[in-house]
Amino acid sequence: MGLLPVSLQKIVRWEIFPSAGKLDHLNEMAEKSQLEVILVVLPSTNKMTSPAQYDLTSEVSRVFGQETVSHASVEIGILAPKSGKWLVQAMGTSSATLRELDVPMDSNRFPRITGSLMGNNFVLRKIRH
């Protein structure tokens, strides 16, 4: 797989642009800086915790705890400001679940994290013009 000869000149946070016309502001900034391409990275995370009940052993029928589900995604793209077109776009997602007990106890089953690698997916799409 080939490498791109890229140098990073400036990091600009997306939040500094007004909500209307973000790409217009980005293109304007690129023209002033005479940038050939702009790497845009948009990360996103979501976490939800809820009560849960677990079967720990046959002697203990129900143990209370909580389950935290985390989802993460990142979208990246390389934008050519002169043409206003995306050269490459990609998106990746991942999810993980943390299961833990409310009461600390010796257990080789808790806390448990599942899914941190199973839910990964990454798609790279080269855009033809």
32 assigned to some structural domain? no
Asked which of 8-22, 38-52, 58-72, 74-88 is least confident by mean pLDDT, the reply is 8-22
pLDDT (tens digit, 9 = 90+) per residue, 87-123? 888 888 888 899 888 887 777 677 888 875 443 455 5
113 assigned to some structural domain? yes
Check: CB of residue 89 under 8 Å from CB of residue 129.
Answer: no
- Answer whether residue 58 shows pLDDT above 60: yes
Tell whether pTM > 0.85: no
Check: CB of residue 62 under 8 Å from CB of residue 54.
Answer: yes
pLDDT (tens digit, 9 = 90+) per residue, 19-50? 777 777 777 777 777 778 888 888 899 999 99
Query: How much is the pLDDT for 22?
Result: 72
DSSP of the chain: -PPP---------GGGS-STTHHHHHHHHHHHHT-S-EEEEEEEEEEEEEEEEE---SSS--EEEEEEEEEEEEEEEEEETTTTEEEEEEEEEEEEEEEEESS----SS-SEEE-TTTT-EEEEEEPP-
Domain count, the chain: 1
14 assigned to some structural domain? no
Query: How much is the pLDDT for 50?
Result: 96
Q: Which two tokens stand for residue 109?
A: 């089953």
Query: How much is the pLDDT for 114?
Result: 81
102 assigned to some structural domain? yes
- Answer whether residue 8 shows pLDDT above 80: no
18 assigned to some structural domain? no
* Residue in this structure with the two tokens 């993980």, named with its chain if needed: 96
For 76, the domain range is 40-126
CA 27 to chain centre: 24
Q: Report d(CA 77, CA 83) in Å as an integer.
A: 14
